[in-house]
Amino acid sequence: MDYEIRIEGNLDPRWESWFDGMTLSAQAGETLISGPVSDQAALHGLLARLRDLGLPLLSVTRVAPEQSA
C-alpha cells in the first residue's frame, strides 16, 4: 500500500533515511512524505515518529500504487 502523509513544516531531504524508504518533497510550508508502507503497524510506527518530531500532522491518505505522486 502506498501512503501520502502531509505535515506542516519543511523537512530536509536528509530525513528520508529516517522514514525508511519514503520520499520527501517540500511544498510551500508543508512536506509530503510518500511511498510504500508494508502494513498498519508500519504506518503507525511512521506516524509515531512524526509525532515525536513535534510536526503537526495535516493528512494521511492511502493511494493506489499507480497514483502516487
Partner 1 sequence: MPVALVETKLFRPRPRAGLVPRPRLAALLDADGSRLTLVSAPAGFGKTTTVAAWLSAAAAADPARRIAWVSLDADDSRPEAFWTYVLTALDRVAPGTGSAALAMHGAGQPVEAVVATVLNELSVLPDDVTLVLDDYHAAEGPAIQAGLALLVERLPPQLRLVIITRADPALPLARLRARGELTEVRAGDLRFTGEETTAYLSEATGLELAAADVAALGARTEGWIASLQLAALSLRGREDASAFIAGFAGDDRYIVDYLVEEVLDQQPAEVRDFLVGTAILDRLTGSLCDAVTQSAGGARMLETLERRNLFVVPLDDRRRWYRYHHLFADVLRTHLVAEPPERVAGLHRRASEWYAAEGESALAVRHALAAGDVERAAELAELAMPALGRERREAVIRQWAQELPEEVVANRPVLAIGLVGGLMSSNDFGDVERRLVDIERQLALPEGELVVADPAELPRIPAALEMYRSALALNAGDPVTAIRRADLALEMAVDDDPLVRAAAPALSGLASWALGDVNAAHASYLVAIEGLHRADRIADVLGCSLALADMELTLGRLGDGRNTLERGLDLAERHRPDGGGVVRGTADMLVALSRCAWHRNDLGASAELLSRSEDLGEDAGLAQNPYRWRVALARLRAAAGDLATALELLDEAERVYVGDYSPPVHPVHATRARVLVASGDLDGAQKWASEHGLRADDQLSYLREYEHLTLARLLLAQETPAALEDARGLLDRLLRAAEDGDRAGSLIEILALQAAAGRDVAALDRALSLAEPDGWVRVFLGAGPALVPVLQRFVRERPDRAFARRVLEAATGTGTPSAAPARGQHQLVDPLSEREIDVLRLLASELDGPDIARHLVVSLNTVRTHTKHIYAKLGVNNRRAAVSRGHQLGVLSAGR
Binding site for partner 1 (CB under 8 A): 9-12, 14-15, 17-18, 29, 31, 51-55
Least distance from partner 1 to the Cβ atom of residue 18, Å = 6
Residue 29 or 65 having the CB closest to partner 1 = 29
CB of 30 to partner 1, least distance (A): 10
Beta carbons within 10 angstroms of residue 13's beta carbon: 11
Residue with Cβ nearer partner 1 (24 or 37): 24
Contact 13, 47 (CB under 8 A): no
Contacts of 60 (CB under 8 A, 6+ apart): 3, 4, 5, 6, 43, 47
Tell me how crowded residue 58 is: count the other CB atoms within 10 A of its CB: 13
Min CB(2)–partner 1 separation in Å: 23
